[in-house]
Amino acid sequence: MYPNVDEKTADEITKSLDSQKDNAKNVPFIERTKAMEKAKEMLEKYKEETIKSLMINSGKSRQDAEGEVNSTISRLFLTLEEAYKLKGEFIPGDLAKENIGRFAIVKKEPVGLVLGISPFNYPLFISFTKVIPALLSGNVVILKPASANPIPVILMTRILESVGLFSNFFAMITGEGKIGSYMASNDLVNMVTFTGSTSVGKELSKIIGIKKVHLELGGRALAIVLKDTDLEKTANNIIKGSLSNAGQRCDAISGVVAEKEIYDDLLKLLKKKIKDIKYGNPFDKNVTMGTMISEKAVQDVEELVNDALKNRAKLEHGNKIKGCVFSPTLLSNVSPKMKIMNEEIFGPVIPVMKIDNYKEAISFANSLKYGLDMAVFTKDISKAFEISEKIKTGEITINGLPSHGVGLFPFGGTKLSGLGREGIGYSIDEFTEIKTIVIA
């Protein structure tokens, strides 16, 4: 681990890791998986300390912090499933006349030196959904976590260091955000994997150069609610999908579009349920929604809410601020042109918009610059599939909130939401390159 890294130290770390690429590649795969199993056991041993570090350093509720640690443990448990994607392929040449008598072996090889840059909202889990598959694939890895809350990542780094095998193949650095951009431009770095805002992702893409890149950027998940839905179930999903982790999720439900026939009833249910959310001090055992990451983050959300209110949105509940606490907030009478229905909110706010029919919802969803996640609630499976087919997005969930948990399903965006996919096995594809060996 290297704290407060400057450019000179960054260059030294990069050179040191680059010199270990062949050694990492040649470690037998079974040794890598055994090391990950040991790391899982260590994280389980220090689970309580890690949970508390997330509560203190990130303001997460006990519920959210424990969920993040459990997901990281599960990801380590599933390393063998992840590793299955490293298998090669045999292709006979006699499938084509000109290749009769030939065959090919197709194998996956590590890309080399991977730079991972992770965000503040899930500092532990997202950091190690990059590190775990990258190391399993035989790469060397440099990780730059968010400056706002690196403590949980430091704890996990200590665990990997204690395992031993990865001590020469993995380095975690802390420092200002610009150091990540500086390292991304280094020619010794073979791949950059970044999770964060679309604006930073755009800047990174300009300086990365010709190398492999994975970008998981901003999201704008709409909940499309049709008139035949189960309102109680739908309202529960919207509340949880919008307010978990204080709304600081790229896949959070950050807007609801409801058909006019059930708009008022849905709004009434949401208003009733949002009042029951206990928020504030993460160490209060009754609190299920903790604080936001900073007062600046609170101000950004406040600006979006105030802009909506200025443009005739109606405040149904919330909009109370104290330090890093932003109360669960419900807005009605929002319109398609409001900023709050077009920008990533990244806070505990639920704007609800009335629509005439589901085709209007499809049109609005496709007008957004983001395409990471969506949700549709209806009993009509034909309409659900029609909506799913017509909306341009990386993922859409039918009758449930967007939730990626351990990463069993592939996750990633279209449009300004990024490039590439993450998930069990799918991440391995991102961190490897295909080599074809033809035998004539």
Report pLDDT digits (tens) over 256-273: 999 999 999 999 999 999
Is pLDDT above 90 for 176? no
Q: Residues 68, 82, 250, 259: which is the catalytic one?
A: 250
Q: Are the C-beta atoms of residues 75 and 104 closer than 8 Å to each other?
A: no
Average confidence (pLDDT) over 182-206: 96
Q: Are 248 and 297 in contact (CB under 8 A)?
A: yes
The three state secondary structure string of the chain is CECCCCHHHHHHHHHHHHCCHHHHHCCCHHHHHHHHHHHHHHHHHCHHHHHHHHHHHHCCCHHHHHHHHHHHHHHHHCHHHHHHHHCCEEEEHHHCHHHCCCEEEEEEEECCEEEEECCCCCHHHHHHHHHHHHHHCCCEEEEECCCCCCHHHHHHHHHHHHHCCCCCCEEEECCCHHHHHHHHCCCCCCEEEEECCHHHHHHHHHHCCCCEEEEECCCCEEEEECCCCCHHHHHHHHHHHHHHHHHCCCCCEEEEEEEHHHHHHHHHHHHHHHCCCCECCCCCCCCCECCCCCHHHHHHHHHHHHHHHHCCCEEEECCCEECCEECCEEEECCCCCCHHHCCCCCCCEEEEEEECCHHHHHHHHHHCCEECEEEEECCCHHHHHHHHHHCCCCEEEECCCCCCCCCCCCECCEECCEECCECCCHHHHHCEEEEEEEEC
Q: What's the pLDDT tens digit per position in 222-262? A: 999 999 999 999 999 999 999 999 999 999 999 999 999 99
pLDDT of residue 270: 98
Tens-place pLDDT, residues 42-93? 999 999 999 999 999 999 999 999 999 999 999 999 987 888 788 889 999 9
Architecture of domain 221-407: 3-Layer(aba) Sandwich (3.40)
Instruction: Give how far the C-alpha of residue 343 lies from the chain's centroid of Cα atoms, to the nearest Å.
Output: 17
The pLDDT score that the predictor gives to residue 83 is 80
What is residue 88's predicted lDDT score, i.e. its pLDDT?
Answer: 87
In angstroms, the Cα distances linking 74 to 7, 11, 40, 43 are 35, 34, 8, 11
Sign of the torsion angle spanned by Cα atoms 394, 396, 401, 405: negative
pLDDT in the model for residue 425: 87
Give the pLDDT of residue 106: 95
For the chain, the straight-line distance linking the first and the last C-alpha, in angstroms and rounded, comes to 48
Is 324 one of the annotated active-site residues of the chain?
A: no
Domain 7-217+417-439, second-level architecture: 3-Layer(aba) Sandwich (3.40)
- CATH 3.40.605.10, the chain: domain bounds: 7-217+417-439
Residue 198's contacts (CB-CB under 8 Å, 6 or more residues apart) are 217, 218, 344, 370, 416, 417
Note if 216 is an active site residue.
yes
**Of residues 177 and 263, more confidently modeled:** 263
Lowest mean per-residue pLDDT among 37-46, 160-169, 185-194, 368-377: 160-169
Q: Give pTM, 2 decimals.
A: 0.95
pLDDT beyond 90 at 17: yes
- At 195-224, the pLDDT tens digits run 999 999 999 999 998 999 999 999 999 999
Confidence of residue 12 (pLDDT cuts 50, 70, 90): very high
- Integer CA distances (angstroms), 316 to 24, 128, 272, 303, in order: 56, 39, 10, 17
d(CA 423, CA 425): 6
Domain(s) of CATH 3.40.309.10: residues in the chain: 221-407
Catalytic residue among 68, 82, 216, 422: 216
At residue 358, does pLDDT exceed 90? yes
What pLDDT, on the 0 to 100 scale, is given for residue 87? 84
